[in-house]
Structure 1
Amino acid sequence: MSRYRTVVVGLGGLGSAALYRLATELGSGVLGIEQFALGHHRGASQDHSRIIRLAQHQPEYAAIARPAYKAWEEIEAESGQRIFTRTGGLVIEDREARRTAATGSRNIEGYTAMFDRFGVAYELLDADELVDRWPQFRVGGSEQALYQADSGIVDAARANAVHLALARAHGAEIRAHTPVRAVRPDGEGVAVVTGDEVILADRVVVAADAWTNKVLAETGVRLPLTVLREQVTYYATAHLAEFAPARFPVFMWHGHHNFYGFPVYGEVATKLGQHMGGEETTADDRSFEPDPVRRERYAGFVARHIPRFGGPELYSRTCLYTVPPDQNFILDHLPEHPQIVVANGAGHAYKFAALIGGVLTDLALDRAPAHPVDGFTITRPALTDPSFPRGFHI
């Protein structure tokens, strides 16, 4: 049987980042295992782009937002590869639509409170000011916008590949097409059971996302995770210059539905998605066929509010969110088996992935994390109280 200091199970956004950070400290004592091909499209970390932003409306995320930028800068510096593109970012709130929507909540005040608390510069714009500055938008008049200049795009697929390449450079071993059947406590260590062998490790990091409970089944732990099938659509806009990253920011639009969008990046096309609201599914049963209701909803939003952003559909693509009841991360040891560390990104972790890789390394090496993660424990009520209500936030 093979033996390693640490094994990482799952090499998506969080797992690849953890593998790299562990390899910088342990070298050839680290193994990363992926059940599919590297860079596959079955999970949550594929595609060209994710929004990165300092705009956070909860203190546990605002506290790690700026350090996440620094972590990405470190990856770029070591690799010589560009991963982050600054575009500026908007949070646009249609206050009339929010007032009549099911949530009825207002979000901009939450963001500005965190900006003020953490010393982040921002601008507040009314509907007319928004359109004066970005005439690509069409508004009804009840909108308010929050602009923050440091927002931008992290290239997810590229960043995963960079993390894995750097991990190899530091001595890590990587095995793709290797499903993990079980992670089993073995004395003070762990046995990782694949289809071909049992691998022994001092510590294991489980970053298996929608497959988490399957991997953890023999530990006696089952986490209350909801798997949602979400999707994005790329539009082959004819107006490329208007939607170039230098002229059009990433944005989030909070109204009856909560959309997010990107300038032309990765494809010769713009990109639109909806945050949350996808159908519940499982990792094994999910469909890869885009939802026609969402396609129509996206097209309607584009026609009303950013008509030149649209164009022929290049393609729509699905992905999975794996979400605890409070939609907060899980970054912690198993209480009964501290040699096993669990990572879950709750559908919104990619912007923090480079930093989370370091947090998971600290946990796996029995160190206090370098960044505050007390809100992401596995023993919090959302994960231990069966009556805890689901409260997915944006």
Structure 2
Amino acid sequence: MTSYRAIVVGLGGLGSAALYRLAADLGPGVLGIEQFELGHHRGASQDHSRIIRLAQHQSEYAALAAPAYKAWDEVESESGQQIVTRTGGLVIEDRVARRGAATGTRNIEGYTDVFDRHGVAYELLDADELTARWPQFRLDGGEQALYQAESGIVDAARANAVHVALARAHGAEVRTSTPVRAVRPDGDGVAVVTDDGVLHADRVVVAADAWTNRVLAGTGTTLPLTVLREQVTYYATPHLAEFAPSRFPVFMWHGRHNFYGFPVYGEVATKLGQHMGGEETTADERTFDPDPVRRDRYAAFVDEHLPRFGGPELYSKTCLYTVPPDQNFVLDTLPGHPQISVAIGAGHAYKFAALIGGLLADLAQDRAPAHPIDAFSITRPALTDPSFPRSFHT
């Protein structure tokens, strides 16, 4: 076939979810195109685990959090596969380290304010209460924490594979190792240029992340995106029982650096990362060699605050964040070309991926999105005003 009802460009977290939802709606005549092999490690959606949580510091994300859980439940129900593991989750604020820092709403009060407005249950814990419940932590006494029981892990690599499998079950076609050289409006439809020829579609969803501007070049659209190389480290802790998902929660640590961590999952190892702050790069120029400065920073944090979480380094690995100036998603159609939809996850979308797939299917089929996404418009000032200041929460 060279003509399709819908084509999805990029089959990472958001693209694979969109492919599934489009195939469920339209059946055969839907195509997903991936420039590498499925499950590759060059983008943003690889690895075993991402944090899923109701804890959001902005209402536009909080409005999507509960529906995202429902969307993952739907995927699990249809596939018979477990993707989400609830562990409970902590947001820990080191108030001494953050004293005088401009945190905006990204502090404990910012989270609780949004929780209160959205009717979400939570607990506030001081340092003593936290360590009484989870003695794995070593705290200084100046910390405060928020605990929310529904937080947990969404298995990213497994979820991508499940979305693709479900899409195929609904009749979708998948092409791998097929770079898309250009996407161009073609009358009311779209021409998709590959090395094997030109494909045509009524609608196209571009979920190409760090390669987005390259794919969109033929549309005349260029988005102000920054690509960052981030990394995580797995530790082969000998204390497996203490850090089992049933006994240790996912956590985010807001201090001098913002860390996030996981119990033993995917590998026989714990996992630690730092949110944002990686070096700027491009999809072509990035390296896969972990940053030794970050390795040492992670090890120092573990030694100080989670000594039994650590152990021999199993491995460190890198991934890419593709981030607009305001660090918010892009979920919209191109101005003047509503047959082309664009998704950018801004380095924090995976928890919402199953839901975003449905929202992209709505956009591609000219339906009003099932949930509010006006904040993620492609015409907002952060994407159209060259003087808009870059504001990354690191």
* TM over 0.5, shorter chain: yes
Tell me the secondary structure at the aligned position of residue 295 of structure 2.
Answer: helix
Deviation per residue, 1:174-225 (Å, 9 max, x gap): 0000000000111111000001100000110000000000000010000000
Displaced runs of 4 or more, over 6 A: none
Indicate conservation of the 8 Å contact 1:205/1:341, yes or no.
yes
AA of the residue aligned to 1:42: R
Q: Does 1:128 align with 2:128?
A: yes
Matches within 5 A, 1:363-374: 363-374=363-374
> CA contact under 8 A between 1:90 and 1:252: conserved in structure 2?
yes
Inter-partner Cα distance in structure 2 for 1:30 and 1:278:
36
Q: What percentage of residue pairs aligned between the two structures are identical?
A: 83
Is residue 337 of structure 2 the alignment partner of residue 337 of structure 1? yes
Note the C-alpha offset of 1:338: 1.1
DSSP 3-state at the match of 1:309: coil
- 2:148 is aligned with 1:152: no
Please name the residue that 2:244 is paired with: 244
Deviations 1:64-102 (A, max 9, x none): 100000000000000000000000000000001011557
Letter in 1 for 2:45: S
Partner of 1:10: 10
Q: Tell me the residue number matched to 1:323.
A: 323
1:227 corresponding residue in structure 2: 227
By how many angstroms is 1:103 displaced?
5.0
Distance in 1 between residues matched to 2:217 and 2:106, nearest whole Å = 40
Unaligned runs of 5+ in 2: none
Q: Write the letter of the residue equivalent to 1:119.
A: G
Distance in 1 separating the partners of 2:188 and 2:277: 41
Residue of structure 2 in register with 1:37 after alignment: 37
Secondary structure in 2 matching 1:98: coil
Q: What is the one-letter code of the residue matched to 2:159? A: A
- How far residue 252 of structure 1 moved from its aligned partner, in angstroms, is 0.1
Q: What residue in structure 1 maps to residue 210 of structure 2? A: 210
**Structure 1, residues 115-144: CA drift from partner, whole Å, max 9, x if none?**
101110000000111111100000111100
Match of 1:367, SS state, is coil
Aligned pairs for 1:121-200 within 5 A: 121-200=121-200
SS at 1:216's partner residue?
Answer: helix
> In terms of mean alpha carbon deviation, does 101-110 or 130-139 score higher?
101-110
2:306 aligns with: 306
Q: Which residue of the partner structure matches residue 89 of structure 1?
A: 89
* 1:123-180 superposed Cα distances (whole Å, 9 cap, x missing partner): 0000111111100000111100000000000000000000000000000000000000
Question: In the TM superposition, what is the alpha-carbon distance from 1:104 to its structure 2 partner?
Answer: 8.3
User: What secondary structure, in the 3-state scheme, does the structure 1 residue paired with 2:289 have?
Assistant: coil
- C-alpha contact 1:210 1:227 (8 A) present in aligned 2: yes
Q: Per the alignment, in what secondary structure is the counterpart of residue 28 of structure 1?
A: coil
Q: Is the 8 A contact 1:98 1:105 kept in 2?
A: no
Q: CA RMSD in A?
A: 1.0
Distance 1:247 1:223 in 2: 43
What is the alpha-carbon distance in structure 2 between the residues aligned to residue 286 and residue 162 of structure 1?
A: 28
3-state SS of the aligned residue for 2:371? coil
SS of 1:145's equivalent in the other structure is strand
Conservation of the 8 A alpha-carbon contact between 2:87 and 2:150: yes
